[in-house]
Amino acid sequence: MNHSYRKGFQLVLFFFLLAGLIGIKAQDIPIDHQKRIFFPYPMDRKWSTSVGFTGTTMPYEITEELHFRMPAGDVHILRRLKNKWYLDGHLSLQGLQNLATLGPRIAIPVTDRLSMAAGNDIGFWFGIINVQGVKTKGTGWQNYPNLSFGYRFNKRILVTLKAESIMNIGINTHAGDIKVTTDYRLFSGSAYTLALEQPFYGKKSLTLAFRAIYTNFYWQTWTLFEPYDRNLFFPQIIVGIIL
């Protein structure tokens, strides 16, 4: 991570620490009926849905001068299974290229405020894009084993830290009729998410999250056919309204 991000992040986390030390003194509200997506806790309703967007900044090594933030529509759907189990489905939508992941979670409350969850998501991405007049197609399978820790502050503030391993199981890309070989490692990197969830307005709740992705193949960059075998840094912001 470059110098600026490191300084800024340390500042953000310093504020979190300060918040914790200040001790938000208010009436404690139980977690029941509080809307959440990232927070690892057994579901109290059958379905939970959030709609929002993500913005991922591409590193210079990949996009060179075009240092832009790739926006994507973001949909999360949780479905309670039984007891502490639930399914987490996620869609990252950009029209011409999209990613879908689905996987089980088991959520375990550890203390009154701390809880954790473990899960594994299978992902599939696909894209058809015209790159400089050439129809370029790609598909790939991924796997994301993950672990989450959540802490419930007062005033319905839910903070989650999630760690994921990024595995690329298969990548299949074509530029026109030419098969392009994209070298990748099975264990392609990892991602770390810090999420804040709390009521926003009316009955809607808000997810605000930052995800630090370190990977040698990020699915949104498949059209660039980059040969680097380095875990590059892709910072991603996540905003979602929990319906």
Partner 1 sequence: MKISITILFACLISFSCKRNFEAPVPDTHWDLFESAEKLPSVARPGIEGIYNFQQGSDVFGLAAAAKWSYSANGNDTIYHLSLFCEKEVSYFILEGKKSGDSILLNGYWRKMVNTETGIARFTIASVNGARKLLNGIPLGSDDSIVLDGKYGNGPAMPDQSLRLKYNRPLYKAKPLQIVAHRGGGSTADLLPASENSVAMINMASRYGATGIEIDVRTTSDKVFVLFHDATLNERLIRKNGLLGPIENYSYDQLYTLVRLKQGERIPTLKEALHTVVYNTALEYVWLDTKFTGPIDELVKMQRQFMQEAAAIGRQLEITIGIPDQQVLNNFLALPDHNNIPSVCELTPDDVVAANSRIWAPRWTLGLQNEQVQQMHAQGRKAYVWTLDVPQNVFEYMNQGEFDGILSNYPSIVAYYYYAKQ
Partner 2 sequence: MVYYQTTHPSLLITIMLNSKHIILLPFFLWSICAFAQPGGFTSEPVKRGAYSFVVYVSGGLGHYPAYSKDLAYLDPKIQNVNPVSTIRIMWHPDHLVKVGLETGYLTFLNYTLTDSAGQRGKVLLNATPLLVEWTMALTKRFNVFAGSGVYFLTTNLDYKGKTRSKKISVGWMAAASYIQPLSKNMGLGAELKWLDAAESRDGTICLQLQWVWRFWKW
Which residues of the chain form contacts with partner 2 (CB under 8 A)?
2-8, 10-12, 15-16, 18-19, 22, 24-25, 55, 57, 67-69, 155-157, 196, 198-202, 206, 208, 237
For residue 2, the minimal CB distance to partner 2 (Å) is 6
Q: Are 35 and 54 in contact (CB under 8 A)?
A: no
Nearer to partner 1, 51 or 180 (CB): 180
For residue 20, the minimal CB distance to partner 1 (Å) is 5
CA distances from 182 to 9, 30, 193, 214, 233 (A): 33, 49, 27, 18, 19
Residue 167 touches which member of partner 1, partner 2, none, C-beta under 5-8 Å by kind? none
Is residue 183 part of the contact set for partner 1 (CB under 8 A)?
A: yes
Is residue 61 part of the contact set for partner 1 (CB under 8 A)?
A: yes
Nearest-angstrom CA–CA distance, 70 and 76: 19
Residue 198 touches which member of partner 1, partner 2, none, C-beta under 5-8 Å by kind? partner 2
Quick one: CA torsion of 95, 216, 142, 41, rounded to 10 degrees? -90
Is residue 106 part of the contact set for partner 1 (CB under 8 A)?
A: no
Q: Are 86 and 80 in contact (CB under 8 A)?
A: yes
Nearer to partner 2, 6 or 230 (CB): 6
For residue 34, the minimal CB distance to partner 2 (Å) is 11
Burial 202-235 (b: 16+ CB within 10 A, else e): eeebbbebebbbbbbbbbbbbbeebeeeebbbbb
Q: What are the DSSP calls for 68-88, one per residue?
A: -EEEEEEEEEEEE-STTEEEE
Residue 72 touches which member of partner 2, partner 1, none, C-beta under 5-8 Å by kind? none
Stretch 11-50: interaction string toward partner 1, x if CB under 8 A: --xx-xx--xx-x---------------------------
